[in-house]
Amino acid sequence: MLELYHWEPNIFFLKPLVALAEKGTSYSASYFDPTKFEQFGAQFPANAESALQLEREGPVLVSDDAIITGSFFLLEYIAEALPGPALLPTDPYERYRAHAWGQTIALSLASPVTTLGCARHLAPLLRSRPAQPLRTQIAAIEPLERRAAWMALLEGDEASAVVAAHAQLPGPVGRIEAALESSPWLTGSQYSIADIDAFAMLSPLPELAPSLVSASASPHIMAFLQRMHSRPAVRTALALSRTGRPAEAFVPGPEASRWG
């Protein structure tokens, strides 16, 4: 039996929702709100790996007794373990490229995207709440690095974090734009988990970084986003939003900027 713990269909949480919809797999969905720290509840599945994983707040897939974390690892598991349409290329080199793109996006794109999203949406949300109960909740978070990422949203200088995030984006955005110039999908002619991964992280950028991701600045990325939005699985995943504002749903990402 599969059970997916997820939030709004955006960034990391969007990836497994799209992949499971592509596979047509039945699963049990457990929605939680990480901005209310529901991921620390007693009923939330957790182990040492899930507590330390770089994406910090989810999603989490439970398959029988196994707890799987890390959104790209979830994509790999769904692609390889579940029946349905192929989500990994059969050609060995293209399969390598799919995994290489996953590493590239995790290392160079996830941090600036989540930093910009948190500055725009999450920091004002947290600061609108009563300060002392929120500080008490954050003070209980382990490990220290995870706690610091949340505290930075309350106390840090998001202006400098935003400047740093914008400076990190041209490299990965340029590489993706160049790859999509010669083929419709990142690994070539075959749609794969690399495209789901990239879509989830690129989707917020027309709002958050329009000077880099727009029809004039990155036409191939914009065409890619349109192709992704036309897929029934993507529409199914986005329809799972409970707030009606999934594009505003952000949590601190890997190597979150220190705003203090």
Exposed, middle or buried: residue 243 (CB in 10 Å: 0-12, 13-18, 19+)?
exposed
What's the pTM? Answer: 0.95
Residues 33 and 146 in one domain: no
Residues 52-94: tens digit of each pLDDT:
788 879 899 999 989 999 999 999 999 999 999 999 999 999 9
**Boundary of a domain, candidates 81, 100, 120:** 81
- Provide the pLDDT for residue 61: 97
Q: CA nearest 189: which of 113, 86, 258?
A: 86
Q: Residue 125 corresponds to which amino acid? A: L
Domain count, the chain: 2
pLDDT of the chain along its 260 residues, tens only?
899 999 999 999 999 999 999 999 999 999 999 999 999 999 999 888 888 788 879 899 999 989 999 999 999 999 999 999 999 999 999 999 999 999 999 999 999 999 999 999 999 999 999 999 999 999 999 888 889 999 999 887 788 999 999 999 999 999 999 999 999 999 999 999 999 999 999 999 999 999 999 999 999 999 999 999 999 999 999 999 999 999 999 999 886 444 33
The sign of the dihedral angle between the CA atoms of 195, 198, 200, 204 is negative
- Residues of 172-181 as b/e, b for ≥16 C-beta within 10 angstroms? bbebbbebbe
Residues 115 and 219 in one domain: yes
Q: Residue 14 corresponds to which amino acid? A: L
Expressed as residue numbers, the domain containing 12 is: 2-81
User: What is residue 211's DSSP assignment?
Assistant: T
Task: Give the domain CATH number at 164.
Answer: 1.20.1050.10
- Provide the pLDDT for residue 256: 46
